[in-house]
Amino acid sequence: MSFRSRLRHIWRIARWEVSLGSTSLDRRTLLAGVALLLVAGGIVGAGLALGVEGLSPTQDIYRVGIDDDSPYYDVVADDAALSPREPDREKLETGELDLLVAPAGNSGTVSLTLDGNDGEGVVEAGRLGQSTVSVAHAPTEKGTAALTTFRAAVQGYNDRLMALEPNETAAYPVSVRLQYRPQSSPTGTRGGNSSDTDAGRDDDTETESGDGANDDENGGSNEGSDGDQSTDDGTSDESTDDANLDVDDERDDPDVDDEGGSFLDGLLSGGNSQGSPAEISPPFPFSSLVLAFVFLVPMNFIIQAYGGTILNERINRRGELLLVAPIRRLDIVAGKTLPYLLAAVVAITGISLGVGGGLLSVAAVLPIALAFLASTFVGAMFARSFKELTFVTVTVSVFLTTYVFVPAIFTNVTPIALISPLTLVVMELQGEAVGLGGYVFATAPFFLGSAILFLLGVGVYREEDMFTQKAVPLKFLDAIDARLRGPKSVAIASALTIPFVFIGELLAIAALYVLPIEITVPLILVVIAAIEEVAKSIHIYAGIESDRFDRSIKTALLLGGLSGLGFFVGEKFTAIAQIVGLPELVLGQATLTPAGVTPATTLALFLGPLVLHTVTAAVSALGARKEFRWYLVAMLAATLVHAAYNFAVVSAYV
């Protein structure tokens, strides 16, 4: 079949898909949608009519006893999380109040002893400076948290007061400029944010430590002595005056600031670098993160529709007509996927335009969209009912969203954040440059993983799997088996599991992170070993179960060896790709390597994993010859060997 006719098939199926989707939106559905919109609009309208706009989710969670003539009353009344109540000392003890702000002297119901616990469970926080007000909080975690919130509220209140002061010098006696400078810490954990702008930055900071202090001309009026600023031109590309240039990480998007409601205002204004002490803020890319999250929202709706259409083909043998047509299976799937992919691209591009992202954002989110579609496709191929599909869809959304979102939080902290393509979006929104290496590092696992998932799914896009009610694990084995050919394919399959192993291990580390460290480290070593052993042997088991491979010991050893070899090569390839793509990531690791490494140990370090992978894979393969229980036993043994090896290596390094 010619390439052009294949394209024509794909195009036609895509057009069917679109027309099918649009006819299902009939009048009644539209009416129901409009009715829902009206109800939602009515609720919002009622809320606005009542005079509340954008309530904070923390509304009134801390109860503060305070008189309404107290100087602090406005502080409490203005803060969303604090709610003013009648001051009553006893209520502090009974847990009906969390914080008490009251005159320090004896006045009516309130009597406070200062500086010390009065023995009744109420914690005195003490008198407020020279004023006559004292603060006490309930002896609970909530009580101390309330005090912390109250403290922040007073700070905010003072800031608002000072903003109204006519005498600026007295109101703002201190001004701060925040700048960042790379520091080679002894632990070797330094790293730039992006691979390509670092060089320039390093150059200019070297000269700073010279003694050029205080002698350069101060162009900006708001500058005092900026001795270490003398050479900062050229660090950044969009700069004109040398005042705020050194602050590479913290460029606010000007168009970001005026978005966001009352609640988000405080959070969205993150990342300032100059002003009064209240105005500077740590490098937490909150606004960019929120905007990056917007990219993920439409994915959830797209995969819902997409999963539905795939499963639809499988119900009542509807897909049979397409299957018997002289069209390749891959083309059918491509045609059915194309409209949803296009919808995703349109949505991504629209959002990118809306939030001020560029081409990079689109290019970075595209692999995420592909991963969403690919995993939904596989899920829809395995699911037995719509109910099951709903769970699959929710699972896909939750896992992928956390997987791409959480690393992006650490964008400014560590280059490892680049395991998520969303980090690229955050970086672009912050105005940082991203190198090609960074892009490939972030997106390649997603592209590769999506391709593998699609291949797996297409493998079972056939009559015997589509229209049967097999259990999901069996279908999974079928899907793997459909991709195997000869023994050599076992090695390739092992290598291809690397992206998934990578993802699985990261998720395991994140999930086990909360446990105490003495448990976490050994547990992680075992879990990592288990994940890798499963990845190396599950396809061997699938192949043997379907009688693709015979059950002789010789075959099992051969398959195991090949699988281990394939996995080893894949792992090494990834490592090399990382070194090429993200040099600064390796910089930290290299400092950890002990100094006196002889060629012999290097060889041992290189060949050690190879031997390990082949041996353990062979053990699992031997077990896979028999029934499932034996496979499990063998894999357990392989996991233990692997974990012991991991443990030995780790303790050798530490």
Partner 1 sequence: MSEQSAVERLRARLRSQRLTIAKRELQVLSREKTIVLALVIQLFVAGFSGFLVVGLVSLYDPGSVEGYGIEAAVTGEASDEMLAAMADSDTLSGTEYNSTAAAFVAFDEGRTQAVFDTSRRDGTIEVILTAPEGSIETTLVVAESQEVLRALERQQRTERAASLEVVPLDLPPDRGGNPYFDFTYTVLLPLLVFLPVFISGSIAVDSITEEVDRGTLELLRVAPVSLTQIVDGKALAMIALAPLQAMTWLALLSLNGVGIANGAWLFALATAASVVVVAVAVGISLVAADRRSAQLLFSVGVLLLFAAASFLPGSPANTAALLAIDSATRSTYAAVVGYLVVAAAAAGVARWLAGRVDPNEL
Applying the rule CB under 8 A, the residues between 307 and 336 that interact with partner 1 are: 308-309, 312, 315-316
Query: In the window 228-267, what residues touch partner 1 (CB under 8 A)?
Result: 228-229, 248-249
Minimum gap (Å) between residue 139 Cβ and partner 1? 11
Minimum gap (Å) between residue 329 Cβ and partner 1? 22
Give the angle subtended at the CA of 95 by the CAs of 91 and 97, to the nearest 5°. Answer: 60
Contacts of 142 (CB under 8 A, 6+ apart): 62, 98
Phi, psi values for residue 135, rounded to 5°: -125, 135
Q: Is the dihedral of CA 381, 387, 388, 390 positive or negative?
A: positive
**Which letter, b or e, does each residue of 138-147 get, where b requires 16 or more Cβ atoms within 10 Å of its Cβ?**
bbeebbbbbb
Minimum gap (Å) between residue 598 Cβ and partner 1? 30
Q: Which is nearer to partner 1, 205 or 361 (CB)?
A: 205
Q: Which is nearer to partner 1, 156 or 609 (CB)?
A: 156
Which member of 106, 170, 215, 518 binds partner 1 (CB under 8 A)? 170
The candidate with the shortest Cα–Cα distance to 264, out of 284, 290, 282, is 290
> Interacting stretch for partner 1, rule CB under 8 A, among 409-417, 527-535, 615-623, 639-647?
409-417
CA gap 199, 323 in Å, rounded = 56
Query: In the window 50-109, what residues touch partner 1 (CB under 8 A)?
Result: 50, 52-55, 57-63, 71-72, 75, 81, 83, 95, 98
Q: Residue 121 is encoded by which pair of tokens?
A: 């469970």
Minimum gap (Å) between residue 612 Cβ and partner 1? 30
The candidate with the shortest Cα–Cα distance to 327, out of 38, 1, 653, is 1
β-bridge mates for residue 195, sequence order: none
Q: Is 337 among the residues that bind partner 1 (CB under 8 A)?
A: no
Q: Which is nearer to partner 1, 259 or 447 (CB)?
A: 259
Query: In the window 179-198, what residues touch partner 1 (CB under 8 A)?
Result: 179-186, 189-193
CA-to-CA separations, 596 to 175, 187, 407, 410, in angstroms, rounded: 50, 18, 34, 34
Minimum gap (Å) between residue 459 Cβ and partner 1? 23
* DSSP helix/strand/coil, 437: helix
Other beta carbons within 10 angstroms of residue 173's beta carbon come to 9
Q: Is 407 among the residues that bind partner 1 (CB under 8 A)?
A: no
Query: In the window 484-523, what residues touch partner 1 (CB under 8 A)?
Result: 510-511, 513-514
Minimum gap (Å) between residue 177 Cβ and partner 1? 5
* DSSP helix/strand/coil, 333: helix
Which member of 93, 118, 196, 208 binds partner 1 (CB under 8 A)? 208
Which member of 213, 440, 521, 640 binds partner 1 (CB under 8 A)? 213
Question: Which of the 8 DSSP states describes residue 58?
Answer: T
The candidate with the shortest Cα–Cα distance to 179, out of 212, 217, 228, 234, is 228
Which member of 25, 346, 436, 580 binds partner 1 (CB under 8 A)? 25
Other beta carbons within 10 angstroms of residue 508's beta carbon come to 17
Which member of 69, 108, 174, 240 binds partner 1 (CB under 8 A)? 174
Minimum gap (Å) between residue 639 Cβ and partner 1? 21
Query: In the window 532-561, what residues touch partner 1 (CB under 8 A)?
Result: none
CA-to-CA separations, 268 to 156, 160, 175, 249, 428, in angstroms, rounded: 16, 18, 22, 16, 17
> Interacting stretch for partner 1, rule CB under 8 A, among 174-182, 343-351, 524-532, 637-645?
174-182
**Which letter, b or e, does each residue of 302-341 get, where b requires 16 or more Cβ atoms within 10 Å of its Cβ?**
bbebbbbbbbbbbeeeebeebbeeebeeebbbbbbbbbbb
Which member of 7, 114, 152, 576 binds partner 1 (CB under 8 A)? 152
Spell out, one character per residue from 359 to 388, where the chain touches partner 1: x when CB under 8 A holds, - when not. -------------------------xxxxx
The number of residues making up the chain comes to 654
Other beta carbons within 10 angstroms of residue 380's beta carbon come to 24
Minimum gap (Å) between residue 580 Cβ and partner 1? 21
Q: Which is nearer to partner 1, 6 or 127 (CB)?
A: 127
Which member of 7, 32, 553, 603 binds partner 1 (CB under 8 A)? 32
Which member of 147, 292, 408, 426 binds partner 1 (CB under 8 A)? 147
Which member of 66, 92, 122, 178 binds partner 1 (CB under 8 A)? 178
Starting at the edge strand found earlier in the chain, the sheet holding 82-85 runs 82-85, 62-66, 99-103, 133-137, 123-127
Q: Which is nearer to partner 1, 136 or 370 (CB)?
A: 136
Which member of 2, 106, 167, 598 binds partner 1 (CB under 8 A)? 167
Q: Is 37 among the residues that bind partner 1 (CB under 8 A)?
A: yes
Query: In the window 272-311, what residues touch partner 1 (CB under 8 A)?
Result: 276-278, 280-284, 300-301, 304-305, 308-309
Other beta carbons within 10 angstroms of residue 392's beta carbon come to 22
